[in-house]
Amino acid sequence: MKHHTKSKLSRRNFLIAAGVGGTATAAAIAAQVVAPDKPQAAASKDKRGGKGYQESAHVRSYYNTAKV
Amino acid sequence: MSASVTPLEFQPPEIPEDKAREGYYALLARLFYAGPDAALLAAIGGADEIGDEGEQSALAGAWNRLARAARAMEPEAAQSEYDELFVGTGKAEITPYATHYLAETGREKILVRLKDELAALGLSRAEKAHEPEDHMAALLEAMRHLISMGSTHAALQKQQGFFDRYLARSVVAFCGAISASESANFYRHVARFAEVFFAVESEALKVF
């Protein structure tokens, strides 16, 4: 356990030193623009042909959780 | 299996660095799924610069350049750039599907294994999503989900395993392809930031 706590700190220190999480920049953008509960503008039109590509709204939830 | 599926909700983790990681995964998933619209460009361009005091990390430098590029970019241009790079008519210049970078042959097998793994995590493709599960955006969303599950040793182990199996090699090759493309402009900055971010990720996932 102690070992885990120690390595958890070194992981965090590493991330902080690398510049991750110094500010909440990306998290803020994610909350603002790619949050699960906000609608998004449609992406540009499909150029692949067919009916494939849809709007980008579902990027925010590519997955559903399967209830098991 | 029960047919009852519900849209995935992402709970931000408690540790601030993991919250930031989750945010970067969300953002990159979005950018690799479709070209940015005006709101997204404005959000990236208007975000705080990272670490402007003293020396800058590689991540900060790449982020700040991406933010600058976002401010200079028109949404229409960014979206057609995305389409030209990743969609195209006929064959896309750069494929956003990870198995392409993971193996010359046997890609189907990797995809099957990936689907099994996602199912074991309780994840299934949203009805509206048509892309196979090895789309970069889908893999990044899966990582985002794993990060949102918390920061315990077991949770980090799951993240590390998934990252190593599907992302570590493929994302580097994918970003390399973007950087090498003459059609890339805004996405060159996205790729550069992604490269630096995932280099940090590979290291960080080794030291827990």
How confident is the model at residue B122, as a pLDDT?
87
Is residue B5 situated within a structural domain?
no
pTM for the model stands at 0.83
Partners of A41 on chain B (C-beta within 8 Å) are 37-39
Is residue B120 situated within a structural domain?
yes
Mean pLDDT of A17-28: 71
Inter-chain touch B7–A61, beta carbons under 8 Å = yes
Inter-chain touch B50–A10, beta carbons under 8 Å = no
Reported confidence tier of residue A36, pLDDT bands at 50, 70, 90: very low
User: Looking at per-residue confidence, does B100 or A35 come out higher?
Assistant: B100
**Looking at this predicted complex, what is its ipTM?**
0.80
Q: Which residue range is the domain that position B127 belongs to?
A: 16-49+56-204
* Number of domains chain B is built from: 1
pLDDT along chain B (208 residues), means of 10: 64 82 91 92 85 72 93 96 85 90 93 94 82 93 92 93 97 97 96 96 89
Partners of B70 on chain A (C-beta within 8 Å) are none
How confident is the model at residue A62, as a pLDDT?
60
How confident is the model at residue A33, as a pLDDT?
65
Exposure of B119 in the CB half-sphere (CA atoms within 13 A): 8
* Main-chain dihedrals φ then ψ at residue B97, nearest 5 degrees: -95, 125
Domain of residue B35, CATH code? 1.10.3480.10
Inter-chain touch B47–A8, beta carbons under 8 Å = no
Q: Are B13 and B19 in contact (CB under 8 A)?
A: yes
